[in-house]
Amino acid sequence: MTTFNDFGLHADINRALAAKDYTTPTPIQTQAIPPLMKGRDLCGIAQTGTGKTAGFSLPSIHHLLTYPHRPTPRGCRMLVLAPTRELAAQIAQSCRDYGRFTKLSVTTVFGGVPINKQIRDLSGGVDILVATPGRLLDLIDQRALRLDDVEIFVLDEADQMMDMGFIHSLRRVAKLLPSRRQNLFFSATMPKEIAHLAEQFLEDPVTVSVTPAATTVEKISQYSTFVEQKEKQALLHSVIASEDIDRALIFTRTKHGADRVVRHLAGANIKAMAIHGNKSQSQRTHALQAFRSGDIKLLVATDIAARGIDVSGVSHVINFEIPNVPEQYVHRIGRTARAGAEGKAISFIAPDERPYMRDIERVTRSKSEPMPLPENFNELVRNLPKPAQPPRDTGSQGRDPNRQRQDAHRQRDGGQPRGERGPRRDGAAAGEGAEGQRKRRFRPRNKSVGAHKGAVKRVG
Ligand code: AMP
């Protein structure tokens, strides 16, 4: 069995790993770290929870320490792009943890917060910059940041970036990067258009896959109940009462749907919070912290807001509404059954959602078990408590003085993304289809399409 010592990582990194009590590398780490240490490009098919952040940051930190030099003013040596602020903050924190015994500087930039501090933070240059694409480009436009000295470029959650309409931003970023660099590309799913995007970024990459959809899904007990849309709230109350829930993530397709669920639960004195793109940054952080710490057991989320968030101990995923993109279902239920724990996914299927569920079962090659409505269901529906007025901590309107400015950034920086208006089945952003089909390359490369396929390694 491989241990972290086998990788030959810098002693300061091994110290940090020991301090974190990491003993055994995860499959993606075992597969990714050796080629990355040799400077290879990497295409990783993996979702959050697999240990991919350490998989890419440990060898990168090793590189930065092995070839030490000061970053150029307004430059960065390693650039990590993430689709949401939460994920960017999480990655930066991991880099700080793994680099805690080094002098490497780690900075995060994302929209929805004042830019001036970020400009100051970047002025002397930084070793590791973790950014969302919109704010990154704002900083470049303001000449507060340049990318011509980037040695390592990481694109995380590429499929999510595409869903959120970041393709144009990615094209711009790609043009600004130097041609000599190491590239790392991660995506939880690899439909054709993402594979094409990967080819545009990567040169002769090693491909590592740790989350084939079927395997992820197999570990989770899946149930589904046919129910009218307007009776879903009563079903939710019944499930919450009858299931042994440690932590449950409840997914809705829209932001307003998420707020409505929270208000209904509050009407029945059930504590829950919502996390979605209409929330201010502090509301989102607060809700996540409450969920992580166990203050609340129920977090209601839209797909995008929940992506990339790593919370252990999620016992249940409840699909209050069914996603119309099968991969989204895999992402959702992958939040449970982490690290071998038991996980349960329960889907509420309205008549018009049945085709979505059929697609999901086809793609995941799995079938969920029917969970009948409770015997007293009609009574539950009749007696459903009235929803509460928007509570302070979940309301999303007009309390935050920074709101307007934040909203302006949100579309670009992960707050109010396309996916929350219902992701498109083709995964492309509206208005980009034609351009996508022209199959433009970021950097013309003299290699055949799919050249990396020969290097595919399947693990996990
Ligand atoms: P990630 O998929 O990178 O978000 O990581 C998921 C979680 O696993 C994070 O909380 C990490 O701190 C943790 N983790 C990553 N690698 C290891 C490891 N080798 N041993 C134990 N925990 C790990």
pLDDT tens, position by position, 84-116: 888 999 999 999 999 999 999 999 999 989 999
**pLDDT mean across residues, the chain:** 82
Pairing between β-strand 456-458 and β-strand 316-319 as defined by DSSP bridges: unpaired
Q: Report the pLDDT value the prediction gives residue 217, as an integer from 0 to 100.
A: 61
| 341-382 pLDDT tens trace | 578 999 999 999 999 998 888 777 778 999 999 999 999 999
Instruction: Provide the b/e sequence for 144-161 (b: ≥16 CB within 10 Å).
Output: bbbbebbbbbbbbbbbbb
> CB-based contacts of 337: which residues, under 8 Å, 6+ apart?
219, 220, 343
Mean pLDDT value of segment 37-42: 97
432, amino acid identity: E
Give the Å distance between the CA of 340 and the centre of ligand 1: 13
Q: Is 30 a pocket residue for ligand 1 (Cβ < 6 Å)?
A: no
Cα Rg of the chain, angstroms: 22
d(CA 203, CA 446): 9
Residue whose CB lies within 8 A of the most ligand 1 atoms, among 26, 30, 95, for a mutation test: 26
Q: Is 205 a pocket residue for ligand 1 (Cβ < 6 Å)?
A: no
Q: Report the pLDDT value the prediction gives residue 407, as an integer from 0 to 100.
A: 36
Give the Å distance between the CA of 10 and the centre of ligand 1: 19
Q: Is 97 a pocket residue for ligand 1 (Cβ < 6 Å)?
A: no
d(CA 17, CA 29): 13
* pLDDT grade for 403, boundaries at 50, 70 and 90: very low
Ligand 1: atom nearest CA of 55 is: 3
- Highest average pLDDT, of 78-92, 190-204, 411-425, comes from 78-92
- Give nearest CA residue, ligand 1 atom 5: 51
Token pair listed for 113: 């917060």
| pLDDT(264) > 80 | yes
Give the Å distance between the CA of 18 and the centre of ligand 1: 13
Give the Å distance between the CA of 54 and the centre of ligand 1: 7
| 277-328 pLDDT tens trace | 788 778 888 998 999 999 999 999 998 777 666 777 889 999 999 998 777 8
* 0.75 surpassed by pTM: no
Residue whose CB lies within 8 A of the most ligand 1 atoms, among 6, 9, 22, for a mutation test: 22
Other CB atoms within a 10 A radius of the CB of residue 18 amount to 12
Ligand 1: atom nearest CA of 308 is: 4
Q: Is 216 a pocket residue for ligand 1 (Cβ < 6 Å)?
A: no
Q: Is 26 a pocket residue for ligand 1 (Cβ < 6 Å)?
A: yes
Q: Report the pLDDT value the prediction gives residue 278, as an integer from 0 to 100.
A: 82
Instruction: Provide the b/e sequence for 52-73 (b: ≥16 CB within 10 Å).
Output: bbbbbbbbbbbbbbeeeeebee
* pLDDT grade for 75, boundaries at 50, 70 and 90: very high
d(CA 246, CA 9): 37
Of residues 393 and 186, the one with the higher pLDDT is: 186
Residue ranges of the domains in the chain? 4-209, 220-382
Asked if the domains 4-209 and 220-382 are classified in one and the same CATH topology, the answer is yes
Q: Report the pLDDT value the prediction gives residue 224, as an integer from 0 to 100.
A: 96
Which residue matches tokens 């890419």? Answer: 56
| pLDDT(5) > 50 | yes
Domain spanning 220-382: CATH 3.10.180.10: no
| pLDDT(122) > 60 | yes
- Give nearest CA residue, ligand 1 atom 20: 22
Q: What CATH superfamily is the domain 4-209? A: P-loop containing nucleotide triphosphate hydrolases (3.40.50.300)
Nearest to 281 by CA among 165, 107, 400: 400
